[in-house]
C-alpha cells in the first residue's frame, strides 16, 4: 500500500488498516460489563423465592427472566461484540429469539384451554405439594 511509507503513530498499525478485522473495545468496557453481570446475579438471587429477601410470589419468575435477559443482552452486545456486527449477523442472532417468542407465545395462549382427554378436565393439575396432601388422601 502507498500509505505504508507514511508515518503512523501506533506501532500496531504497521500492516495497514485493511487487516484490522474486528472491533477493539477499551478494557474498561469488559470490566464494567462483568461488574454489571455480577450485580444482576446478586439481584436475581435477592429477589428469588427460595433464597431472597424480597418475595413477589408469581412475579418472581417475571423478575428472574427480565434480569436474565438483561444479562444475556450485555453478554451478546459487548462480550460477543454483537453491537459492532453487520446487519446479517444481527439477523442470525435475532431469528432464533423471534422463533422462541412465537413458540412460547403459542404455548401460553394454548395451555389455559387444554383438556386432558382421559378426565375431560383442564390440564392444569391440582398441586400435590408435600404440605398439602392430594385431594383423595385428605380424608384418611
| CB 89 to other proteins: min, Å | 5
Choice from 93, 115, 121, 133 touching other proteins (CB under 8 A): 93
Q: Which of residues 16-45 bind other proteins (CB under 8 A)?
A: 18-22, 24-25, 27, 30-31, 33-34, 37-38, 41, 44-45
Residue from 3, 72, 121, 133 binding other proteins (CB under 8 A)? 72
8 vs 103 by CB, closer to other proteins = 103
Listed residue (84, 75, 76) closest to 25, CA to CA: 84
> What is the 3 state secondary structure string of the chain?
CHHHHCCCCCHHHCCCHHHCCCCCCCHHHHHHHHHHHHHHHHHHHHCCCCCCCCCCCCHHHHHHHHHHHHHHHHHHHHHCCHHHCCHHHHHHHHHHHHHHHHHHHHHHHHHHHCEECCCCEECCCCCCCCCCCCHHHCCC
**In the complex, which residues of this chain contact other proteins (CB under 8 A)?**
12, 15, 18-22, 24-25, 27, 30-31, 33-34, 37-38, 41, 44-45, 48-52, 60-61, 64-65, 67-68, 71-72, 75-76, 78-80, 85-86, 88-89, 92-93, 95-97, 99-100, 103-104, 107-108, 111, 123-125, 127-130, 132
Amino acid at each position: 500500500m502507498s500509505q505504508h511509507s507514511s508515518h503512523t503513530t501506533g506501532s500496531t498499525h504497521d500492516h495497514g488498516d485493511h487487516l484490522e478485522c474486528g472491533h477493539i473495545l477499551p478494557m474498561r468496557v469488559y470490566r464494567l460489563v462483568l461488574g454489571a453481570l455480577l450485580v444482576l446475579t446478586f439481584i436475581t438471587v435477592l429477589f428469588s423465592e427460595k433464597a431472597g429477601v424480597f418475595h413477589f410470589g408469581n412475579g418472581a419468575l417475571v423478575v428472574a427472566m427480565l434480569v436474565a435477559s438483561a444479562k444475556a443482552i450485555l453478554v451478546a452486545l459487548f462480550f460477543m461484540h454483537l453491537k459492532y456486527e453487520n446487519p446479517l449477523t444481527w439477523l442470525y442472532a435475532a431469528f432464533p429469539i423471534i422463533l422462541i417468542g412465537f413458540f412460547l407465545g403459542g404455548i401460553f395462549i394454548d395451555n389455559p384451554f387444554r383438556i386432558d382427554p382421559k378426565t375431560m378436565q383442564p390440564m392444569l393439575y391440582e398441586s400435590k405439594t408435600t404440605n398439602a396432601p392430594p385431594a383423595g388422601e385428605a380424608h384418611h
